[in-house]
Amino acid sequence: MKKILQDLNFSEVEQLVLASGEKKFRARQLFEGLTAGRKISEISSLPRAFKDKLLEEYEDEPVKIKEIFRSADGTEKYLFSLADGSLVEGVLMKYKYGCTQCVSTQVGCRMGCNFCASTLGGLVRNLTAGEILAQILAVNALHEGDEALKGRGREARTVTNIVLMGSGEPLDNYGETVKFLRLVTAGDGLNVSARNISLSTCGLVPKMYELANEGIPLNLTVSLHATSDEERERVMPVAKAYKIEQILRACAYYFERTGRRYYFEYTLIEGENCDEAHARALVSLLKGRPCHVNLIRLNEVKERSLKATGEKEAYRFLGLLEKGGLSATLRRQIGSDIGGACGQLRASYLERAGDGQD
C-alpha cells in the first residue's frame, strides 16, 4: 500500500510540493483538490507530469464508497473500501441543523463489547488520520451538487458535524485519532469546529486524561451501559481494567481542562439494565455532575443474544431519570432498516463474500 496524501496538513503538502521542484502555488491547488474529495488524478489544475510523479508514491483514492444503503428516514450508510482492500463503514444522519457523519477509526475492534458488531472479528488494523478524514471527504464529494444539504459560508459542505462512533475504539488508535482531529479542525482545511465533533470511548481512562490535555474541546462521550462494575463487566470486557469511579474522575478532569460537559451513552438492554432500580442507581451515580445521558435503544445484532427494550419501557426509563434530576434524552432510532449499528454492514458484506455472493 502506498502512502496517503490526506495524512498531511497544508504545511506538509507545501514542503512536499517544493521538494518536488514545483512552484509554491501548486501546494494550494493540490491541498484544495484533496479537501474537495478529488482523486489526485482528477485535480485538473495540476500538471499531468506532477500528478504522475505523486501517484508513484501516493494512493490516488485511499478511501472509496463501495456500497450505499439509504434508509426510509433519509439516513445513508456507506461501506468504504480502503486501498488495501479492508472495509469500514460510516453513516450520514440528516437533521434540521445539518448533517452528522459517523466515522470509523479502526478496521474492526478489539474491545469485545457484547452489543457491538464491530468487534466480532477482532481488530484488523488501525486507520491513519488521512483514512479517517477521507471518509468525510468522500461523502462531501458524493453530495457536492446537493444544495439542500449544504450549510452556509465556511460551512458550505454537506458534513457539518462529526461523531467518532463507527468501527473501532478511537482512543485505542490515539495518535492517528488526534492527528485526524487536528486535520479536520484546521482553518485551511475543512475547518470543522471542535464543538461540532463528538468522540465516543468505552472508557480507556489513561487516554481520556491525555485527550483532556490536547487542547481540543470536543464533546467527550463515554459508553457506560451499566450502573455497577459487576454488571458493566458482563457486557464490556474493558470494565475489568477501568472501574466506573475511575471513569468519573477522568470525566471530571476533562471538564476541568476543557470546560465542556461530558456525555454518557447508556444502551437499554431488555432484562439487563433498564428497570426502575437501574434508573435510581443511574441518578445516584450521575446527579450533580456536568453531564448528559444519551439513552439508546439497542440495535440488535444477530450474532448476539441481547434484546432491545420496548419503546414504552424506554420512555418510562427516561422519565425516571428526568424526575430524578438528570439531563437525559432518548436518541431517535435512525437507520435501523439498513443495519444502522456500527459493524453490521461490514459483517453482512463479509458474510456474503464468504458465501460467494460478491
* Enzyme catalytic residues: 89, 342
- Phi-psi label, residue 321: left if phi above 0, alpha if psi -120 to 50, beta otherwise: alpha
Output the nine-digit C-alpha cell for 185.
479542525
Burial zone of 85 (CB within 10 Å; 0-12 exposed, 13-18 middle, 19+ buried): exposed
Burial of 60-75, coded b for 16+ CB within 10 Å and e otherwise, reads bbbbebeeebebeeeb
Q: Any residues with CB less than 8 A from the CB of 152 and at least 6 apart, and which?
A: none
| Among the listed residues 91, 80, 65, the one whose alpha carbon sits nearest the alpha carbon of residue 333 | 91
Neighbours of 144 (CB within 10 A): 14
Question: Strand order of the sheet with strand 219-223?
Answer: 63-70, 76-82, 87-95, 98-102, 159-164, 197-201, 219-223, 262-268, 291-297, 328-330
Alpha-carbon radius of gyration of the chain: 21
Instruction: Name the CA dihedral angle for 237, 241, 243, 244, rounded to a multiple of 10 degrees.
Output: -50
- Phi-psi label, residue 153: left if phi above 0, alpha if psi -120 to 50, beta otherwise: left
Question: How many CA within 13 A on the CB side of residue 67?
Answer: 12
List residues bridging with 200 in a β-sheet. Answer: 221
Task: Indicate the DSSP class of residue 111.
Answer: S
